[in-house]
């Protein structure tokens, strides 16, 4: 049974999307760690609790309070040496999951909450997920995992499938936990993207681009999102945004494109954060390059999905 004010600490925190979702569900963020100085800048513009900026390998366990309900993180997907895991990660000292396990075992949070790409389940022939599950179980947790799409579980028009791994220290809490049920997608793209608004000229494509002719020929419908895929244009016909990626501001690949009233343009960073479910008052530092903001949006989580999961976790640990 958790205290009256459950707490959360975030690892690989990015801009703090997981912490924000848990906060909206009644948790109090108390600590976070993030290595990227640009993401940390956005984090600190929106959160007042302590943020440790640095490599998780150098993060001391006692930096995190022992009065911790949830330890969370959207960690990078890396291959594991199963043999190394059997030896206590001796062969995997560069692998960040080793540090997650270290912090879990030192701080014993009530709940471990991990988020990753859908393909984690089959990564490295299934070894990666096997190591994660066995490591959490060996640390005293009962583990559940499920892939959720934000268009089905967050009422956000983005096709974004992510695996959520939840470990409960108390078997009773795990028994009470229920995955959220799907919700009908009722939020249109037009609520998150203003197809009628004129934005800065840098976001529009012109005949100065070598692929302008192709864009002009293919991008013909309003209220629809297209993607420039280096060699061709792909229309999304399902009425939702394709998965936003961290590299969408790095040279053109995967950039979401729309036909607005004022021309053909890419989504702005603010619109990308909208499609990740961040609130309108979420601060995007004006002195950060667009490439960094696109990366931060693509690396983050869909906040309403996190909030729904956090509410279910809260119910499970309070019963």
Which residues are catalytically annotated? 77
Beta bridge mates, 163? 116, 147
Which residues lie closer than 8 Å to 177 by C-beta, 6 or more apart? 144, 166, 168, 312, 313, 315, 316
| Dist CA 139 CA 113 (whole Å) | 14
Whether 32 contacts 19, CB under 8 Å: yes
Structure tokens at 73: 């993180």
How many CB atoms are located within 10 Å of the residue 127 CB?
A: 15
Structure tokens at 119: 């393909």
Whether 297 contacts 269, CB under 8 Å: yes
- Range list of H helices, the chain: 17-24, 37-46, 82-86, 96-107, 127-138, 150-153, 171-176, 212-218, 269-275, 290-299, 303-318
Q: Residue 264: CA atoms inside 13 Å, Cβ hemisphere, count?
A: 24
């Amino acid at each position: 049974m958790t205290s009256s004010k459950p707490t959360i600490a975030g690892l690989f925190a990015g801009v703090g999307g997981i912490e924000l979702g848990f906060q909206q569900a009644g948790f109090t963020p108390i600590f976070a760690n993030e290595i990227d100085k640009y993401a940390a800048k956005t984090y600190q513009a929106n959160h007042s609790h302590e943020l440790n900026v640095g490599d998780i390998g150098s993060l001391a366990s006692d930096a995190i309070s022992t009065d911790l309900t949830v330890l969370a993180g959207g960690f990078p997907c890396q291959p594991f040496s199963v043999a190394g895991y059997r030896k206590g990660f001796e062969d995997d000292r560069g692998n960040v999951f080793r540090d997650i396990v270290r912090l879990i075992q030192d701080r014993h949070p009530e709940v471990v909450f991990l988020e990753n790409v859908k393909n984690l389940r089959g990564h490295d022939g299934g070894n990666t997920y096997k190591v994660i599950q066995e490591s959490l179980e060996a640390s005293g947790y009962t583990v559940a995992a499920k892939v959720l799409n934000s268009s089905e579980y967050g009422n956000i028009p983005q096709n974004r499938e992510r695996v959520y791994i939840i470990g409960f220290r108390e078997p009773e809490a795990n028994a009470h936990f229920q995955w959220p049920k799907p919700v009908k997608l009722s939020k249109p793209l037009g609520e998150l993207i203003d197809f009628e608004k004129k934005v800065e000229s840098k976001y529009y494509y012109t005949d100065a681009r070598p692929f302008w002719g192709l864009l002009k020929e293919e991008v013909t419908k309003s209220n629809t999102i297209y993607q420039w895929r280096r060699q061709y244009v792909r229309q999304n016909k399902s009425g939702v945004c394709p998965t936003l990626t961290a590299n969408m501001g790095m040279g053109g690949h995967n950039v979401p494109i729309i036909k607005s009233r004022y021309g053909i343009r890419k989504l702005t960073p603010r619109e990308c954060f909208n499609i990740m479910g961040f609130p309108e008052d979420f601060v995007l530092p004006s002195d950060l390059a667009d490439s960094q903001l696109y990366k931060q949006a693509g690396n983050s989580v869909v906040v309403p999905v996190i909030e729904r999961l956090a509410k279910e976790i809260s119910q499970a640990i309070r019963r």
